[in-house]
Structure 1
Amino acid sequence: MEENLDYYLKQIIAFGTEYGLKVIGAIVVWIVGSWAIRKIVRTSKKLMEKRDYEVSLQKFLIDLISWSLRILLIITLLGTLGIPTTSFAAVLGAAGLAIGLALQGSLANFAGGVLILLFKPFKVGDYITGSGESGTVKEIKIFTTELATPQNRKVIVPNGPLSNSNIINYSANDQIRLDMVVGVSYDDDIKKTKEVLMNVLTSNPKVLKDPAPMVAVTELADSSVNFAVRGWVKNADYWDVHFENTEAIKLALDAAGIEIPYPHSVEIQKEG
């Protein structure tokens, strides 16, 4: 009986000696690792706030960093306890590959969202054209961007195609040039027409004086002499000036007796 007791006692001591140190080591690794993760997450958050990252991008990147480090810590703990981690890592890799293949489109949209939030080709409130859609940016998410069209229609654009397309940001600068083309008859005086068109531009208080507005002959078309009418405006005034000048140009040309040519239908009578 005493021999059996001594045997079991020795086994317990041997087991405690072998695995006790591993358990203690694992506890130390867990404490130090958890502290290091919190430190890295806090530092990363401060850096992102300092560089003015979008809130949604900050949250996603912080979660990504935190979970990645936790998984790494768990694998390290298993290794400290003597549990083989090679197969565990292989399973994680295979699962990651399978998920990646199943979510190729979503991952492309995610990557596009990260690029948009990181490099900021546009921000909320900007009027843009991209991926075949135009509108005011209402919200930028990780996978999609929400636009509101001039008709106030809601358009959801996937970030993958959007980030890979040509993006025109009409709101990037404070000023924008309004370009209009006006055609008049070949019988009308060019200098007089230029004066009338320039007067329309300079009479509108929303058309900026600097850069100066410009009127010039741009094309001798089949049935009209075309004038480029250009004036710089503030972004917020673009459409107001567009509509105001379109009406003012028509009224001014009519008052000056200058004709805007239009197609005339010609009836051909059959002889006999």
Structure 2
Amino acid sequence: MQQFIDFISDNQQLILAYSVKILVALVILYVGRWLSKNLTKMLEKALLSRKVDKAVVSFLGGIIQTAIMLLFILIALSQVGIQTASFIAMLGAAGLAVALALQGSLSNFASGVLIILFRPFKAGDFVETAGVSGTVEKIEIFQTILRSPDNKRIIVPNSQITGSAITNFSAEPTRRVDLVIGISYGSDLRKAKLILEQLTKADGRILAEPNPVIAVGALADSSVNLIVRSWVNAADYWPVYWSLLENIKLSFDEQGIEIPFPQMDVHLKKETNE
């Protein structure tokens, strides 16, 4: 006991200096803990106000909180005199190895964050991207899950989505139904156009504005091609598309308007021997 008292007496200045450093290090850790928690809460609140997916918000909050705490731990260790340069170098090497090993996953994660932040689509939208199409069911951190029209589940890595074109069929409230209807050269063109006008006006799902367009699109090899362009609400696109095609065929049959098969005229020339 006397030896301990003598050690304390002989090293009062050193013990006092280290006590102050330890106290400062503890204060730094406390401030770092408080700052990391509050900054994380502020970030989560801001992201949730923008309707960012909760899973991504939680994941990002955990990463940021850990990074801030790690920074303050290094500062605290440096305060008590521990050399952190080698520790930082070792941590950097380990981080680089992990990043290289998880390069694809990190790319998918970053792409998932971009998708949710910029929102090119949302759950319930029908999209075409990365060579597939379907209704968006869920946007996850590393992948997006689609449901195809024939009820297949399609899982697409997020990096493939951000690296390709995205067509969102549900982004706008209205869509245009485009049809190309061919009639024979011998059919009455004016009568055919009148029938098409009547059919578009009779369908209550077709919007009056913008006005439907019916015009001659091309004088093709086997037919006169008429274009029919009408605007509908996005939810009515396929029902109108299918019913309009059926009604056109039935009406043309009743009115004697021929929809020709592809055909070719072949001229035979007889050669005579001189």
User: Scaled by the length of structure 1, what TM-score is found?
Assistant: 0.91
Amino acid at match of 1:168: T
What is residue 270 of structure 1 aligned with on the other side?
A: none
Amino acid at match of 2:41: R
Deviation at 1:5, TM superposition (A): 6.2
2:226 alignment partner, SS class: strand
Deviation at 1:211, TM superposition (A): 1.1
1:113 and 2:87 matched: no
Q: Deviations over 1:49-96 (max 9, x none)?
A: 333323233222212211111111221221122111111111111111
Aligned equivalents of 2:148 and 2:101: distance in 1? 33
Contact in 1 for aligned 2:146/2:155 (Cα 8 Å): yes
Alignment of 1:86-101 (within 5 A): 86-101=85-100
Alignment of 1:210-229 (within 5 A): 210-229=209-228
Aligned equivalents of 2:4 and 2:185: distance in 1? 119
Aligned equivalents of 2:55 and 2:198: distance in 1? 49
1:55 and 2:54 matched: yes
1:180 alignment partner, SS class: strand
What is residue 270 of structure 2 aligned with on the other side?
A: none
Q: Which runs of 5+ in 1 are unaligned?
A: 268-272
Give me the CA root mean square deviation. Answer: 2.3
1:136 and 2:135 matched: yes
What is residue 80 of structure 1 aligned with on the other side?
A: 79
Deviation at 1:12, TM superposition (A): 5.4
Q: Kindly, what percent of the aligned residue pairs are identical?
A: 42
Aligned equivalents of 1:5 and 1:169: distance in 2? 77
Aligned equivalents of 2:264 and 2:208: distance in 1? 42
Q: Which moved more, 1:8-17 or 1:67-76?
A: 8-17
User: Scaled by the length of structure 2, what TM-score is found?
Assistant: 0.91
Aligned residues: 269
Aligned equivalents of 1:211 and 1:5: distance in 2? 94
Q: Deviations over 1:210-259 (max 9, x none)?
A: 11111111111111111111111111111111111111111011111111
Q: Which moved more, 1:172-181 or 1:18-27?
A: 18-27
Q: Deviations over 1:139-195 (max 9, x none)?
A: 001111111111111101111010121111111110010111111111111111111
Amino acid at match of 1:240: P
Structure 1 residues 54 and 6, CA, compared in 2 at 3 Å: closer, same or farther?
Answer: closer
Aligned equivalents of 2:40 and 2:196: distance in 1? 61
